[in-house]
Amino acid sequence: MQIISLWALPAIILLILTMGLFKKVPLYETFTEGAKDGFKVAVNIIPYLVAIIVAISMFRASGIIESIGTILKPILTPFNIPADTIPIMLVRSLSGSAALGVFSDIANNLGPDDYATKLSAIMVGSSETTFYVLAVYFGAVGISKLRYALIVGLLADFIGIVSAVLVCNLMF
């Protein structure tokens, strides 16, 4: 498996170059056109990215996330969900970097072997940044009807969190 992971990316690049040469595609020109398009997309994404980062910073600085965690603690305790993991559940759908920041705080404060740290790590890995994706990527391509994507994204996040809790309860 280690050999496959080591050679997979170079093999894919070599395959793409070989197929491009075989089909007589102008490789350099095609590559530079793709880079130009990628730069245009990056420029279009910046306003949405700034908006979501500002919103997350406001939520964290205002203390709303911690307040919601305090309110939900009595409901989640019977399911063996520590109060320390509540901010991960709330922030993960908003931003991956914010979730990693919260996870880092949990790991530093409780240690790597604590149940809350393990549960938080599984939650971070089993959910998506739904609002970030909707705001940045959908906004960049001009999609304005988000209803079904939002519902499915939040449902997937919920299922990921429930699955993380179940797996953690079974394993630890």
Q: The domain containing residue 89 runs over which residues?
A: 44-171
Q: Tell me if 51 is assigned to some domain.
A: yes
* 115 vs 132, residue with greater confidence: 115
Residue 13 lies in a domain: no
Cα distance between residue 50 and residue 66, in whole Å: 23
Q: Which of 60, 66, 56, 72 is nearest to 131 (CA)?
A: 56
Q: Is the confidence at residue 55, as pLDDT, over 80?
A: no
pTM for this entry: 0.66
- Domain-embedded: residue 152: yes
In a domain, 22, yes or no: no
The alpha carbon of residue 40 and the mean position of all alpha carbons in its chain are separated, in whole angstroms, by 23
Taking residues 52-63, report their average pLDDT: 77
- Total domains present in the chain: 1
The alpha carbon dihedral of 96, 100, 101, 106 has a sign of: positive
- By C-alpha distance, which of 83, 84, 87, 85 is closest to 95? 87
Q: Please check whether residue 166 lies inside any domain of the structure.
A: yes
25 HSE (CA, 13 A, CB side)? 14
The pLDDT of residue 168 is above 90: yes
Task: Report how far residue 138's alpha carbon sits from residue 146's, in angstroms, rounded to the nearest whole number.
Answer: 8
- Provide the token pair at 12: 């894919």
In a domain, 148, yes or no: yes
The verdict on residue 67 lying in a domain is: yes
Percent of the chain at pLDDT > 70 equals 99
Per-residue pLDDT at 61: 82
58 lies in some domain: yes
Closest to 119 in 3D by CA, of 65, 67, 169: 169
pLDDT on residue 158 = 92
